[in-house]
Structure 1
Amino acid sequence: MHTVLVILGGLVLLALTVLLARLTGRPVRSLLPAFVAVWFVCAAINMWIGIARAGYSFMEELPIFAVIFVVPVAVALFLARKR
């Protein structure tokens, strides 16, 4: 459940990025690198918490990090191609 909530957080961040692009009149593609960088840091913090506080190993957290990071980025790339 936690993974789904974190992915939803990434999608909310993406929606805010798209909104910012529309408000400033920029194409979504121009803000995509910033979204990816911010989302990478957020996903890495989530991974660190899983390692430091929940007691998981790096190798246990790595696939979860990949899913959490890739799903919102894939949606962002899909949106950038459509616009």
Structure 2
Amino acid sequence: MHTIMVMGGGFVLLLVFLLASRFIGDGSLLALATAAKWFIPAWFIGAGINMAVGVIKAGYSVAEELPIFLLVFAVPAFVAALLWWKFGR
């Protein structure tokens, strides 16, 4: 359940990036692509923090947490990459 909640947090963060691009940027599709592009490294850091909490506080090993990290990072990052590809053309 925690994994789904963290991935949901990733999608919320992506939405925040996209909304910020509409209000701060010029509102173009290229601004949405740029927001999606900037989301990916930000989400990598966020997913890494989640992994660190699992290793340090929950006591899981890095080998146990790595597949969860990859899943948590990859799903929202894939959606962002699709948006970047679609709107960046």
Q: TM-score normalised to the size of structure 2?
A: 0.85
Specify every segment of 5 or more residues in structure 1 that has no aligned partner in the other structure, as ranges. none
Matched residues in 2 for 1:6 and 1:21: separation? Answer: 23
3-state secondary structure, aligned to 2:58: coil
Specify every segment of 5 or more residues in structure 2 that has no aligned partner in the other structure, as ranges. none
AA at the equivalent of 1:44? G
Picking from 35, 46, 52, the partner of 1:48 is 52
Q: Percent identity?
A: 43
Aligned residues: 83
Report the equivalent of 1:13.
Answer: 13
Picking from 71, 74, 80, the partner of 2:75 is 71
AA at the equivalent of 1:2? H
Report the equivalent of 2:43.
Answer: 39
Q: CA deviation at 1:37?
A: 1.5
Provide the aligned C-alpha RMSD in A. 1.3
Alignment of 1:24-35 (within 5 A): 24-25=25-26, 26=28, 27-35=31-39
- 4+ aligned runs moved over 3 Å, structure 1: none
Q: TM-score normalised to the size of structure 1?
A: 0.90
